A and B are shown apart, each in its own frame.
Chain A
Amino acid sequence: MTNDKSVDNNPQVAEGKVAAVATGAVDKNSRAEGLSRIVEFKNVTKRFGDGPDAFTAVKDINFAVEDLPGRGEFVAVLGPSGCGKSTVLRLIAGLAPHHPATSGEVLVGGKPIPGPGADRGMVFQDYTSFDHRSVLDNVAFGLECRGVDKAARYELARQWIGKVGLSVDKDADKYPHQLSGGMRQRVAIARTLILRPRIILMDEPFGALDPSTRLRMQDLLIELWRELEATVFFVTHSIEEAVYLGDRVYILSASPGTILEELGVPYPDFPAKEMQRDPHFLDYVFKIRDTIESLESSDRAGDD
């Protein structure tokens, strides 16, 4: 399944229905029996409240992502605003009030998750820096919580400040309010990745950045991900971003969110800036745009 990068080879494209995806997921699961599943959703539904005010954030979500040894998979989660993309991420992270699921099972490494933990690092879009801590102390935060001594955690933090493209000499002692939005996201990424989590959850981390900064950050992320060999879940509503970053793209429908479509996409071989002009890349983007549009119209027809 994971080598199956072509949209055309994916049997679910033609079907494009919720039911078809559900069976598709089961098929895939049986095929993936040999590999351990790092993240698995089994009929996961999350409902808030009761009675007429109840709101279903996500409904009957099924998928499984294998733990690819020595590589990890980059999963992009795509969908319109308010479709429950974040809910999927927060369920994996174990963050309340989304965690625990109303029904179904969220399994990480085959086990139900007890709550949030450093094995599932998360990068958010906003309020990402601890304002009272310097860049160095922000990046070292997780190690500090683990009880790593000062000299060791600062040394590692300096390495990571450099890895995310910040200046160790100039930026390490700055406070977050002295940094631009892009620099703050670099700090947040370093702070999460320094702990080498097996799963990295990213909730539209570049959503508030200007387009050119965003492309640079995408390249940085790909580079760091290859080094870390972790499984990444990246939520976005930008199709370009999903296609560029993802090995696999999940398309979620609007509320209640459910996985409508699962697509394999090619591996990014060159920088985001060039990739954006590549005709094959654009083909995929348009194909996904068409898929989303047809799914949405068939959804609306179903509602009548």
Chain B
Amino acid sequence: MLGYALGVSCIVLIVGAWFLLTLGEEAESRIISPTILQSPWEVVASLPSLIIERKLLESIGATLWRVILGFSLAVLIGVPLGMAAGTWRSARAFLAPVVLYGRNMPLAALIPLTVLWFGIGEFQKVMFIFIACVPFITADAASAVMGIHDRYVETAQTLGASSRQIAFKVLAPLALPDIFVGLRHLFGLAFGYIMLVELFDAKAGLGYLISVSQRLGPRAHIYLILIIIGILAYGIDRLLAFFQRGLFPYRSEE
């Protein structure tokens, strides 16, 4: 309860500071000029124009669709690869260069590269998310499997389990809750990545809307979109946490 109160007071403090910095009827009387930072009220008041004229909902849909598609693809490929890497030393050694390289790849450099490979369109954006996420997902899945205590494997061995049975009946199910937690965090990251491609070129999407607002105004939309992104990311995380509790009832802690 105290933690909750502290969190709320932090938000109140930030909004309060924002309010004070943008206090005043005329531009000259404000500490920060309204061309740079609008008042909280002005930002909220710009919501109808963002929804109607800029088609906010359509952009939210476009952005989410790209992230979900690219991320799901990355999960489908990365989780099995990572679990294999965590289970078998040879798979780990084989995949290590790709994972290491991929995790250190400067993301901005991936944009021209994916344009070159996949053109400019939806497919390029999905593939960008896929390529950006797959090394992280693989590495997370591998470390989740490697984090499982040896004792579980040894117990299974002395109960006559084959290495295939250990992989599928012991390591995989024990690693899944941790992998899921890792995926929740990485989804937030992917959500951030998509803005990068959308700023670069797009016909819809939250990143595209920010870029339009910056060029054509109103600037208040930029702040509004940032707030909406935060709320969306939080909502998605809670949704995933809800699924997590349903999927893994044997985990007492979240």
Residue A95 interfacial (CB < 8 Å): yes
Closest A residue to B159 by CB, please name it.
A142
Which one of B159, B174, B250 lies within 8 Å of A195 (CB-CB)? B159
Minimum Cβ distance to chain A for residue B61 (Å)? 36
Cross-chain contact B151 with A126 (CB below 8 angstroms): yes
Which one of A95, A126, A127, A145 lies within 8 Å of B169 (CB-CB)? A145
Closest A residue to B151 by CB, please name it.
A127
How many Å lie between the Cα of A127 and that of B148 in the bound state?
A: 10
Closest B residue to A117 by CB, please name it.
B160
Cross-chain contact B159 with A145 (CB below 8 angstroms): yes
Cross-chain contact A116 with B154 (CB below 8 angstroms): yes
- CB neighbours of B46 from chain A (8 A): none
Which one of A121, A130, A133 lies within 8 Å of B158 (CB-CB)? A121
Minimum Cβ distance to chain B for residue A281 (Å)? 32
Cross-chain contact B251 with A141 (CB below 8 angstroms): no
Cross-chain contact B249 with A175 (CB below 8 angstroms): yes
Given A191-B159, A201-B158, does the pair A127, B149 have CB atoms closer than 8 Å?
A: yes
Residue B199 interfacial (CB < 8 Å): no
Given A116-B157, A121-B158, A201-B158, does the pair A130, B170 have CB atoms closer than 8 Å?
A: yes
Given A130-B174, A132-B174, does the pair A141, B158 have CB atoms closer than 8 Å?
A: no
How many Å lie between the Cα of A115 and that of B157 in the bound state?
A: 9
Given A128-B151, A130-B152, A141-B169, does the pair A117, B250 have CB atoms closer than 8 Å?
A: no
- CB neighbours of B169 from chain A (8 A): 141, 144-145
Cross-chain contact A132 with B155 (CB below 8 angstroms): no
Cross-chain contact A132 with B250 (CB below 8 angstroms): yes
Closest B residue to A122 by CB, please name it.
B158
Interface size on A, residues (CB 8 A): 31
Closest B residue to A134 by CB, please name it.
B250
Closest A residue to B157 by CB, please name it.
A116
- CB neighbours of B151 from chain A (8 A): 124, 126-128
Chain B 3-19 against A: per-residue CB contact (8 Å), 1 yes, 0 no?
00000000000000000
Residue B104 interfacial (CB < 8 Å): no
Classify chain B's interface size: 20 to 34
Given A130-B152, A130-B174, A132-B250, does the pair A120, B165 have CB atoms closer than 8 Å?
A: no
How many Å lie between the Cα of A304 and that of B162 in the bound state?
A: 49
Minimum Cβ distance to chain B for residue A127 (Å)? 4
Residue B161 interfacial (CB < 8 Å): yes
Minimum Cβ distance to chain B for residue A176 (Å)? 7
Residue A231 interfacial (CB < 8 Å): no
Minimum Cβ distance to chain B for residue A69 (Å)? 24
Which one of B149, B154, B160, B251 lies within 8 Å of A145 (CB-CB)? B160
Residue B156 interfacial (CB < 8 Å): yes
Closest A residue to B160 by CB, please name it.
A118
Minimum Cβ distance to chain A for residue B50 (Å)? 46
Which one of A141, A146, A176 lies within 8 Å of B250 (CB-CB)? A176
Cross-chain contact A141 with B152 (CB below 8 angstroms): no
Residue B173 interfacial (CB < 8 Å): yes
Residue B252 interfacial (CB < 8 Å): yes
Minimum Cβ distance to chain A for residue B161 (Å)? 5
Cross-chain contact B252 with A177 (CB below 8 angstroms): yes
Which one of B158, B173, B249, B250 lies within 8 Å of A120 (CB-CB)? B158
Cross-chain contact A195 with B157 (CB below 8 angstroms): no
- CB neighbours of B157 from chain A (8 A): 93, 95, 115-117
- CB neighbours of A176 from chain B (8 A): 250
Which one of B154, B165, B250 lies within 8 Å of A122 (CB-CB)? B154
Closest A residue to B158 by CB, please name it.
A122
Cross-chain contact A132 with B173 (CB below 8 angstroms): yes
Pairs across A and B, CB under 8 Å, 6 listed? A93-B154, A93-B157, A95-B154, A117-B160, A118-B159, A127-B149
List 6 A-B pairs, minimum CB-CB distance, nearest first: A118-B160, A127-B151, A116-B157, A142-B159, A122-B158, A177-B252
Other A-B pairs, 8, CB within 8 Å; known A141-B169, A175-B250, A178-B252: A93-B157, A122-B155, A128-B151, A130-B156, A133-B173, A133-B250, A141-B156, A176-B250
